[in-house]
């Protein structure tokens, strides 16, 4: 059993967090992941407070184990959800798209563990100063809204910048990703042995959990991820200032075409993107949906229960960590 600072901090069995994915991370998925020993997150995204409250109640009815809520701080309902999490006794909050500073005292007083998602070492430091218990450093390989740095470059720099636990996200969907992120030791050789020890104490995965049996994502979405190869994602929205990684389709082609025009037609762009995640997750509209997925989609090749995904990830990681140097033919003279 792999125990790390993260399993200790959150009281969970395995150092795996299921990312808080808009429209995908509902109460059933979060509860299934928590039941399986990871940390499931409910993705609040832009949902109103009462909807999130119902999801929290539902998750509580499905598992007695800790689960969390991902709050998108730019949501117009962020204040409500911040308060509801306290009232409902939520154990963990992860945050994205902003600074959670104004809620920190309330959350800490309630004993909530606060884990912001960060795309840079500077932001990680700011979050540590604001009182965060850990940070999720998310690389640009991830599905969904992204920053610029790759997981490989980001994690060791964040790990050096802060003393709170660091969780790696982006591009992790099998034991090699887990081992790369959390394998201890060889710290000073990270430049050389980066793939062996990036310096995180846990991982957050998104894309692989879209394909969990319990995920509400449309069958078309799951199939598209399973069929994807390594080069099948693309980033749209760089020109509009909100880059999103998703699977290539008719919509991404038309968005990129708009982005490459001399002046961005924001109205036309908006018209195509509004509601497009819903079209992907709920309707499975292969042409007009935004199928958020990470570069690791090419490695995700089956739809399975969350418990099977987590168990395989952890069993393989244990074996790999035990045999890493030998298996890779690495010798240290
Ligand atoms: C469909 C989808 C929706 C996502 N929505 C959110 C979100 O609402 N909030 C958030 O913090 N991260 C979101 N993410 C990012 C994930 O939480 C996670 O950090 C990321 O997927 C990890 O990278 P991976 O896809 O390579 O596993 C989303 C990812 C996907 C695939």
Q: Whose CA is nearest to atom 8 of ligand 1?
A: 22
Relative to the CA of 44, which ligand 1 atom is closest?
8
pLDDT value at residue 188: 38
CA of 110 to the centre of ligand 1 (A): 26
Query: Kind and range of the H or E element at 275?
Result: none
Cβ atoms < 10 Å from Cβ of 231:
9
CA of 216 to the centre of ligand 1 (A): 15
Which residues have C-beta atoms less than 6 Å from ligand 1? 19-22, 24, 43, 45, 70, 72, 96, 117, 138, 141-144, 169-172, 204-207, 210, 292-294, 296
104, two tokens: 């920190």
Angle at Cα 174 formed by Cα 232 and Cα 7, nearest 5°? 130
CA of 191 to the centre of ligand 1 (A): 27
| Mean pLDDT rounded to a whole number for the chain | 89
The pLDDT tens digits of the residues spanning 192-246 come to: 444 456 778 888 999 999 999 999 999 999 999 999 999 999 999 998 888 999 9
Quick check: 20 and 97 in contact, CB under 8 A? no
Quick check: 255 and 269 in contact, CB under 8 A? yes
CA of 264 to the centre of ligand 1 (A): 26
Of all residues in the chain, what percent carry a pLDDT higher than 70? 92
Instruction: Give which of 71, 64, 77 is closest to 42, Cα–Cα.
Output: 71
248, two tokens: 């290539």
Query: Kind and range of the H or E element at 247?
Result: strand 244-247
Quick check: 56 and 85 in contact, CB under 8 A? yes
CA of 70 to the centre of ligand 1 (A): 10
Q: What is the DSSP letter of 324?
A: H
The pLDDT tens digits of the residues spanning 58-88 come to: 999 999 999 999 999 999 999 999 999 999 9
Instruction: Give which of 198, 214, 217 is closest to 279, Cα–Cα.
Output: 217
Relative to the CA of 280, which ligand 1 atom is closest?
1
Cβ atoms < 10 Å from Cβ of 333:
2
- Assess whether pLDDT exceeds 60 at residue 282: yes
Quick check: 10 and 40 in contact, CB under 8 A? no
Instruction: Give which of 206, 107, 197, 192 is closest to 160, Cα–Cα.
Output: 197
Relative to the CA of 45, which ligand 1 atom is closest?
8
Query: Kind and range of the H or E element at 322?
Result: helix 306-327
Phi, psi of 42 (to 5 degrees): -90, 130
CA of 327 to the centre of ligand 1 (A): 31
- 313 confidence band (pLDDT: 50, 70, 90): confident
Q: How far apart are CA 142 and CA 152, in angstroms?
A: 12
How would DSSP label each residue in 194-225?
TTT----SEEEE-HHHHTBTT--S-HHHHHHH
The pLDDT tens digits of the residues spanning 86-107 come to: 999 999 999 997 889 899 999 9
- 319 confidence band (pLDDT: 50, 70, 90): confident
pLDDT value at residue 63: 97
Residue with the two structure tokens 């991820």? 225
């Amino acid at each position: 059993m792999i125990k790390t600072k993260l399993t200790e901090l959150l009281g969970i069995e395995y150092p795996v967090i299921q990312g808080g994915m808009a429209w995908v991370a509902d109460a059933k998925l979060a509860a299934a992941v928590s039941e399986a020993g990871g940390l499931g997150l409910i993705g609040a995204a832009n949902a109103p407070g009462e909807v999130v409250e119902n999801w929290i109640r539902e998750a509580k009815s499905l598992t007695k184990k800790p689960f969390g809520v991902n709050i998108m701080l730019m949501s117009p309902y962020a204040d409500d959800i911040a308060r509801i999490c306290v009232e409902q006794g939520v154990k963990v909050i992860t945050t994205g798209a902003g600074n959670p500073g104004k809620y920190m005292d309330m959350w800490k007083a309630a004993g909530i563990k606060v884990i912001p998602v960060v795309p840079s070492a500077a932001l990680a430091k700011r979050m540590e100063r604001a009182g965060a218990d850990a940070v999720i450093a998310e690389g640009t390989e991830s599905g969904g809204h992204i920053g610029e740095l790759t997981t490989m470059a980001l994690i060791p720099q964040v790990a050096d910048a802060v003393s709170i636990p660091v969780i790696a996200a982006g591009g992790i969907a099998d034991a090699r990703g887990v081992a790369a992120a959390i394998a201890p030791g060889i710290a000073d050789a990270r430049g050389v042995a980066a793939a062996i020890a990036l310096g995180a104490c846990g991982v957050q995965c998104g894309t692989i959990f879209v394909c969990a049996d319990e995920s509400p994502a449309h069958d078309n979405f799951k199939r598209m991820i399973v069929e994807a190869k390594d080069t099948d994602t693309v980033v749209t929205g760089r020109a509009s200032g909100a880059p999103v990684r998703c699977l290539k389709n008719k919509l991404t082609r038309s968005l990129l075409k708009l982005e490459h025009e001399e002046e961005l037609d924001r109205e036309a762009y908006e018209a195509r993107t509004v509601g497009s995640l819903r079209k992907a997750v709920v309707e499975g509209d292969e042409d007009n949906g935004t199928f958020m997925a990470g570069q690791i989609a090419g490695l995700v090749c089956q739809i399975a229960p969350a418990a099977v995904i987590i168990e395989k990830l952890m069993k393989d990681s244990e074996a790999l960590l035990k045999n890493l140097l030998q298996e890779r033919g690495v010798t240290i003279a």
